[in-house]
Amino acid sequence: MTGTKKFIGIDLGTSSVKILLVDETGAILKAVTKDYPLAFPNPGWSEQEPADWWEACCTGIKELLDGQDAANDKGIGCGGQMHGLVALDADDEVIRPA
């Protein structure tokens, strides 16, 4: 696979993060999914901890790239859930679940 350009795609969804490694033709070389919890603290509410998203992304990317030659990794594309709000304080720390 020397010389093949590779790209990482990250989809941060409501129940899991899906991470793909694809080549320049769009062929999937490897795929990883990492779940994270979803809480329902009140009727009609759903919440998640942004730290869970980060942990899932980090462990998923490590797993995705394990055994891969990163020399030809050329880019990363990210997408996320639509209505997630992460409230931060003046120090950019998460105030509450999203």
Span 45-59, pLDDT tens digits = 999 999 999 999 999
Is 86 inside a domain boundary?
no
- Is residue 97 domain-resident? no
Q: Specify if 95 maps to a domain.
A: no
Residue 21 pLDDT level (bands cut at 50, 70, 90): very high
pLDDT value at position 2?
A: 59
DSSP state for residue 57 in the 8-state scheme: H
Which range marks the domain in which residue 50 is found? Answer: 6-80
Q: Give the chain's mean pLDDT.
A: 92
Q: What percent of the chain shows pLDDT beyond 70?
A: 98
Please report whether residue 91 resides in a domain: no
Place of tokens 């129940």: 15
CA-to-CA distance for 20 and 76, rounded, in angstroms? 10
CATH number, domain of 14, equals: 3.30.420.40
In a domain, residue 29? The reply is yes
Is 55 within a domain? yes
What does the alpha-carbon distance between residue 64 and residue 67 come to, in Å, rounded to a whole number?
8
Listed range (19-28, 41-50, 81-90) with the worst mean pLDDT: 81-90
| Structure-token match 């859930």, residue found | 81
Domain count, the chain: 1
**Residue 16 placed within a domain:** yes
- Residue 89 CA to residue 3 CA, distance in Å, equals 44
Nearest-angstrom CA–CA distance, 36 and 53: 7
For residue 67, being part of any structural domain is answered with yes
* 8 A C-beta contact, residue 23 and residue 2: no
Cβ(85)–Cβ(18) below 8 Å: no
